Amino acid sequence: MNDETDNSSADPVLTYQNLLRFFESPSGKTETPIAHPDAGINRLASKQIENFRKAAVLIPVTRLAEDESHIVLTVRSENLRSHAGQISLPGGSIEPQDDDVTATALRESHEEIGLHPDRVDVIVKLGELALPSGFRVTPIVGIIENNLEFTACPVEVADIFQAPLDLVLNPDAYVQSRMRFNNQERTILELHYEDYRIWGATAAILYHLAVAIGETDSDV
């Protein structure tokens, strides 16, 4: 992570291969909690995590095609009560009908972008990320075909786009900034792609993944 945005990226083919290799390794199967970039949130979570509401998101990674792979992201509707207009991964709160957090991520992805669970090859569940909003989010990584068509739920999703995997998994492409939440200054991460500003929980999750894969790759 740099103080100034660095959108340089690694070789797309190698990045995709590193991702798959990481999740085949013991490190990739360890559900290490995801650190929030703000230390205060981590301290709060260490004491009250059991009181946080569970949620899950899907990280849909497209299969390598023509030397490219992408991660599917959404722009939340401006009409939503929370996080309106923000970039997010498809997902939401766990519901009584969900067997587990993986089921939550798949159900929400189907509802939000029309991605049927049968089209997702789930490969791993990551650790939880605690948020200042009182949620603890579990990301699920899944591989999908690269030519799928998505349908945005108009109530929740304003836009669907795909960011290059080699950019998302480049830790140096992320920058740290500050924002106010509930009248408190909080540290956040940002990742910029074209006109999209990816920040908050989404950036924290993707940065965690980028660092973990990068560290494992450097040990090989």
- What CA–CA distance (Å, rounded) separates 87 from 199? 7
For the chain, the maximum distance between any two Cα atoms, rounded to a whole number of angstroms, is 47
pLDDT of residue 3: 54
Exposed / middle / buried, residue 145 (Cβ in 10 Å: 0-12, 13-18, 19+): exposed
Tokens of 96: 């009584």
22 with 32: CB under 8 angstroms? no
* CATH class name, domain 12-164: alpha beta
Helix/strand/coil percentages in the chain, nearest 5: 35, 35, 35
Q: Which residue has the tokens 């490190």?
A: 27
What type of residue sits at position 121?
D
Q: Which residue has the tokens 């991460």?
A: 189
Mean pLDDT of 7-29: 86
For residue 137, what is the enclosing H or E element?
Answer: strand 135-144
Q: Is the pLDDT of residue 80 over 60?
A: no
- What CA–CA distance (Å, rounded) separates 56 from 65? 27
Model pTM score: 0.91
pLDDT of residue 78: 62
Q: What is the pLDDT of residues 89-105, one digit of tens each?
A: 999 999 999 999 999 99
Q: What is the DSSP letter of 191?
A: E
pLDDT of residue 184: 77
Q: Would you place residue 85 in the very low, low, confident or very high pLDDT band (cuts 50, 70, 90)?
A: low
Which sequence spans correspond to the domains of the chain?
Answer: 12-164
- What CA–CA distance (Å, rounded) separates 170 from 45? 27
Q: What is the pLDDT of residues 24-59, one digit of tens each?
A: 998 888 899 999 998 888 888 888 888 899 999 999
Tokens of 151: 């349908």
Q: What is the pLDDT of residues 145-202, one digit of tens each?
A: 999 999 999 888 999 999 999 999 999 999 998 877 667 788 899 999 999 999 999 9
Tokens of 9: 């990226």
